[in-house]
Amino acid sequence: MSSSLFNVLPLSKSMLSNLDSLNYHEMTPIQAESLPMILNGRDLIAKAKTGSGKTAAFGIGLLHHLKVDFYRVQSLVLCPTRELADQVAKELRRLARATHNVKILTLCGGMPFGPQIGSLEHGAHIIVGTPGRIQEHLRKGTLELKDLSILVLDEADRMLDMGFEDSIQSIISQCPSQRQTLLFSATYPDQIAKMASDYLSDPVEVTVESLHDQTRIAQNFYELEHTHEKYLLIERLLAHYQPESTVIFCHTKKDCQDLADQLSNDGYSALALHGDLEQRDRDQVLVRFSNRSCSILVATDVAARGLDIKALDVVINFELPRDPEVYVHRIGRTGRAGHEGVALSLVTPAEGHRVNRIESLLGDTVKWDDGSRLNDQQSAFKEPPMVTLCIDGGKKNKIRPGDILGALTGEAGFKAEQIGKIDIFPFHSYVAVKRDLGKAALKRLQDGKVKGRKVKVRMFR
């Protein structure tokens, strides 16, 4: 396509106006490559990293083809995690602001089943959900896909990694054979190739390299003789770089939890994110890390997919991934939006072959550094700038972010800039406040009211 402007596409004036209001003026590479094909009704295989703009690419396509006056499920977006599904649904709602009466429903595990049935009874145009919960609704007959025209498999590689292959097959078996299928994947292993062959019809293939400018990411590798030396090196790295926000990647759930526990016991603000967490605990971990009231997130690759973190100072590879493309995906979480980033990798001799694969993929040799030269002042690690208050009440109580902000500002005496991110869930809400104001804000909410009623509030330590 000769132009990367959205107005070269056959979109409605209202859609173009809404895109302009969202500051979507020029298409990203994945949008420029895939949108003309999506709008033309073609099946698509798109290989693109997180942060490439792929959600807007398929979202604009779904809304363009949508028949609003036909109140049936016309599009289904499958995502690996609830967090990504929520993120996708939020973006679709923003894109749909110019189209009246579009119903977008999220169906994910970890949430009560009954209210989802009630929502489905009122009808929906677009469903965004996780494979397990979508399959459950289909099995119980509370969801029908006979009128589906577009199926999106978002981050298909991670859905397979998480063991959703059978669920996906079951869901697709209940979709009309005459449909448009869009498959998005950060990597393209053999399983994805087979899935594409089985479920897509004459697809167009689009590959867009990572948008992350690796010249903005300082990549340092550190060699250690034994795995047990890694923890001491992590402490030295944290003291040297003094990051406000760090993600440490491990392979297994146990390693994640053990490392997070060890860091917490030594006084660091660290939380673990892995598949064994209950959904509410997972929500709280992600809220606290994204609102900057927790400094260190120790995560597996699968659990971390779909993280919506605006500014991440440092990524640490406690272990190198087996797939070099996963390494690129990991480090691409830092150095975004024009910011400088740091990626640090801890390597034992047994992981040497993984370094070779990374060098082959990057087309360059990696930079080795000497951990003994690090400035490791033990008093140097930072406390998070914010603390999180948890309010017993959420969407089901009609609580909105403005209600919480209003309860803390104005007569309450706090300034808006002292209040951080506010997250509203069905039954709970979370608000970040400046650390030195945490106790005062807690008391204010406990003594006052939110939306005209008394609420229970606690502060995460």
Secondary structure, 3-state, 414-446: ECHHHEEEEEECCCCEEEEEEHHHHHHHHHHHH
- Contact in structure between 60 and 37 (CB atoms under 8 Å): no
> pLDDT category, 186, cuts 50, 70, 90?
confident
Report the SS3 class of residue 312.
coil
Q: Strand 429-434 and strand 386-391: pairing?
A: antiparallel
Please work out, in degrees rounded to the nearest 5, the angle formed at the alpha carbon of residue 79 by the alpha carbons of 73 and 80: 145
Q: Give buried/exposed letters for 36-63 (b at 16+ CB in 10 A, else e).
A: bbbeeebbbbbbbbbbbbbbbbbbbbbb
Domain 386-459: state its class: alpha beta
- Read off the pLDDT band of 288 (50, 70, 90): very high
Give the residue with greater pLDDT, 382 vs 245: 245
pLDDT band at 334; cut points 50, 70, 90: confident
What is the reported pLDDT for 459? 95
Report whether 138 contacts 76 (CB < 8 A). no
The pLDDT mean for the chain works out to 88
Answer whether 274's CB lies under 8 Å from 253's CB: yes
Q: Report residue 94's pLDDT band, with 50, 70 and 90 as the boundaries.
A: very high
Cα–Cα distances in angstroms (integers) from residue 335 to residues 110, 263, 274, 309, in the given order: 32, 24, 24, 12
Task: Provide the residue ranges of all domains of the chain, joining segments of one domain with +.
Answer: 6-207, 214-373, 386-459
> What is the token pair recorded at 57?
């690419």
With bands split at pLDDT 50, 70 and 90, how would you rate the model's confidence at 2? very low
Name the least confident of 43-57, 145-159, 217-231: 43-57
Token pair belonging to 451: 């939306």
211 pLDDT above the threshold of 50: no
What DSSP assignment string belongs to 140-188?
A: HTS---TT--EEEETTHHHHHHTT-HHHHHHHHHTS-SS-EEEEEESS-
Higher pLDDT, 59 or 302: 59
By CB atoms closer than 10 A (0-12, 13-18, 19+), residue 305 is buried
Residue 323 has pLDDT above 60, yes or no: yes
429 - beta bridge partners? Answer: 391, 424
pLDDT band at 283 (very low <50, low <70, confident <90, very high): confident
Residue 256: predicted pLDDT: 94
Same fold, 6-207 and 214-373: yes
The pLDDT score that the predictor gives to residue 5 is 84
- Mean per-residue pLDDT for 366-392? 82
Read off the pLDDT band of 305 (50, 70, 90).
low
Question: 401 with 425: CB under 8 angstroms?
Answer: no
Integer Cα distance of 357 and 186 in angstroms: 17
pLDDT band at 213 (very low <50, low <70, confident <90, very high): low
State the pLDDT at residue 1: 41
Per-residue pLDDT tens for 104-153? 999 998 788 999 999 999 889 999 999 999 999 999 999 999 999 999 99
* CATH architecture designation of domain 6-207: 3-Layer(aba) Sandwich (3.40)
For residue 46, list its beta bridge partners.
184, 206
- How does pLDDT run across 50-88, given as a tens digit for each residue? 667 889 999 999 999 999 999 899 999 999 888 889 889
H or E element, residue 82 = helix 82-95
CATH for 214-373 is 3.40.50.300
> What are the tens digits of pLDDT across the range 168-180?
999 999 999 999 9
Q: Which two tokens stand for residue 422?
A: 């506010």
Q: Which residue has the tokens 């807690």?
A: 442
Q: Mark out the alpha helices in 220-323 (DSSP H runs).
A: 230-241, 253-265, 279-290, 301-304
